[in-house]
Amino acid sequence: MRLGIDLGGTKISALALDAAGMVRARRRIKSPRDNYAATLSTVCGLVQEIEDTLLTPDAPRARVGVGIPGTISPATGLIKNANSTWLIGQPLDRDLESVLGRPVRLANDADCLALSEACDGAATGRSPVFGVILGTGVGGGIVVNGQLVTGPNAITGEWGHNPLPWPNDQERPGPACYCGRHGCIETFLCGPALARDYIENGGDGEPDAATVAQRARAGEPAAIAALARYTDRLARALATVINLIDPAYIVLGGGLGNIQALYEALPNHLSPYVFSDRIDTRIVAPQHGDDSGVRGAAWLWPADEARS
């Protein structure tokens, strides 16, 4: 049995897959923000709860893969680039192995999404595939011929910390980012950014991104305008990815990937920015929905290793 953990900024999801890739159990719990020790304890509790439910006491323990909103630094072995900032500088893989008493594999959450959707999801058999996280943070992962692309700096696909392309005067210098710079793509395209833009431009109350999208569907002018600005910014950011790696499919994961209006509007918004006479890249929703990232974490263990 493989067990995937999606360690997000607002929630932690767990999912168990059997040898055939069928879901045997799933759990979801709120992330203990800003508390590293509690994060370790929560992950351990989820694993134990699922194993107690599915496995007999003498059965082999599950192989555990974990998707995180960051990555392990090849230089230090510690977590870097995590928008869940309480993970930064921690030996997360080693600490999880210690509390769980078994090997653990970690990967960036966007890598997990891309791997899941390229292997048995919306982009099955397509290459290259760019998997996108649009949630509390903004990340990306690249799969070519069914294999994750990794580089020496462990930052493949980190488009969220490039500057927003072709900014207008109102977008300069851009919001401050936790990485220390201003105007990163993440500061414009994460969920809190859509909500902030709506409020700063006449929106009512303090809604989250999903509520802004709902209000736009209902015809509220301020919400429609905020979603239009968001769509154009997303198109500019994705155009740079298309110009660079020319993906066959882009899969939009994370909470904002559930906004159907994006899939309808993006093709027309891309044309001014993509360096091509025609755009054949398809932008699709993840087939496995909110389970994509956690499924990809479970698939970090190949079938033969999962049985060992």
> Is residue 138 within 8 Å of residue 253, measured between CB atoms?
no
How many whole angstroms separate alpha carbon 86 and alpha carbon 164? 26
How many whole angstroms separate alpha carbon 254 and alpha carbon 80? 20
How many whole angstroms separate alpha carbon 254 and alpha carbon 191? 9
In order of 74, 137, 170, 209, 272, the CA distances from 225 in angstroms are: 43, 22, 15, 13, 20
| pLDDT for the residue 308 | 44
The pLDDT tens digits of the residues spanning 252-295 come to: 998 999 999 999 999 999 999 999 999 999 999 999 988 888 99
| pLDDT for the residue 69 | 87
Q: CA-CA-CA-CA torsion for 255, 257, 260, 261, nearest 10 degrees?
A: 100
In order of 9, 42, 61, 93, 201, the CA distances from 57 in angstroms are: 33, 21, 9, 25, 57
Share of the chain above pLDDT 70, in %: 98
Prediction pTM value: 0.87
User: Per CATH, which fold does 123-285 belong to?
Assistant: Nucleotidyltransferase; domain 5 (3.30.420)
- pLDDT-derived band at 305 (thresholds 50, 70, 90) equals low
In order of 121, 168, 261, 292, the CA distances from 282 in angstroms are: 14, 27, 15, 18
How many whole angstroms separate alpha carbon 158 and alpha carbon 19? 32
The pLDDT tens digits of the residues spanning 90-140 come to: 999 999 999 999 999 999 999 999 999 998 899 999 999 999 999 888 999
What is the domain partition of the chain in residue ranges? 2-112, 123-285
| pLDDT for the residue 225 | 98
How many whole angstroms separate alpha carbon 17 and alpha carbon 106? 17
- pLDDT-derived band at 156 (thresholds 50, 70, 90) equals very high
- pLDDT-derived band at 20 (thresholds 50, 70, 90) equals confident
Q: Which CATH superfamily is domain 2-112 in?
A: ATPase, nucleotide binding domain (3.30.420.40)
Query: Which of 252, 287, 245, 248 has the alpha carbon at shortest distance from 266?
Result: 252
How many whole angstroms separate alpha carbon 146 and alpha carbon 123? 10
Q: Are strands 2-7 and 11-17 parallel, antiparallel or unpaired?
A: antiparallel
- pLDDT-derived band at 304 (thresholds 50, 70, 90) equals low
* Residue 299 confidence (pLDDT) above 50: yes
